[in-house]
């Protein structure tokens, strides 16, 4: 009984500490399946201030629609995409621009193969997951969501800003 009480006490202290001090939080998701996509949709839906996205390919309607919804509630969004893979009829570029979301295309590299999001300056989502229907249903892809590790977030913010400045 004493061990159980000690365990309950430790759990309560951990939960209080986590809530007060923003303890590091890491989640992973895989596809096919919906764990990767559901993590992405959840972080967009819960965003409060900013979302910066660097992506190789972006054709996902559910992700694009949720970005528009976040933008309408005041979240500042910047989307940076590889130019060669985002000029076809399936890309969401026109849809995002139509809804006043800032979009730039990068043509400086053979391919701009990044796939990451910076959310509210406190979370990074990255991995092999392209923001596409194929990534959800047909490809073997992954993501990792990292919260509250400022030095990693700052590295990604710096890289995003470099890519943003050099893009059209």
- List, by residue number, the catalytic residues: 113, 115, 120
CB 36 within 8 A of CB 30: yes
Neighbours of 72 (CB within 10 A): 10
Neighbours of 131 (CB within 10 A): 24
Strands 123-127 and 141-147: antiparallel
- Write down the residue that tokens 């399936």 correspond to: 90
The two three-digit tokens of residue 116, written as one number = 């990451």
Helix (H) or strand (E) holding 128: none
């Amino acid at each position: 009984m004493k061990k159980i009480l000690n365990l309950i006490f430790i759990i309560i202290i951990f939960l209080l500490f986590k809530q007060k001090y923003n303890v590091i939080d890491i989640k992973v998701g895989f596809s096919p399946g919906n764990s990767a996509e559901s993590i992405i949709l959840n972080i967009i839906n819960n965003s409060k201030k900013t979302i910066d996205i660097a992506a190789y390919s972006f054709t996902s309607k559910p992700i694009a629609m949720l970005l528009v919804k976040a933008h309408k509630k005041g979240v500042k969004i910047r989307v940076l995409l590889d130019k060669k893979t985002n000029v076809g009829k399936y890309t969401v570029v026109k849809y995002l621009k139509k809804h006043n979301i800032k979009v730039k295309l990068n043509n400086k590299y053979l391919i701009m193969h990044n796939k990451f999001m910076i959310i509210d300056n406190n979370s990074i989502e990255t991995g092999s997951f392209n923001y596409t229907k194929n990534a959800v249903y047909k490809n073997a892809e992954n993501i990792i969501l990292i919260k509250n590790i400022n030095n990693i977030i700052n590295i990604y913010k710096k890289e995003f800003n470099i890519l943003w400045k050099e893009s059209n």
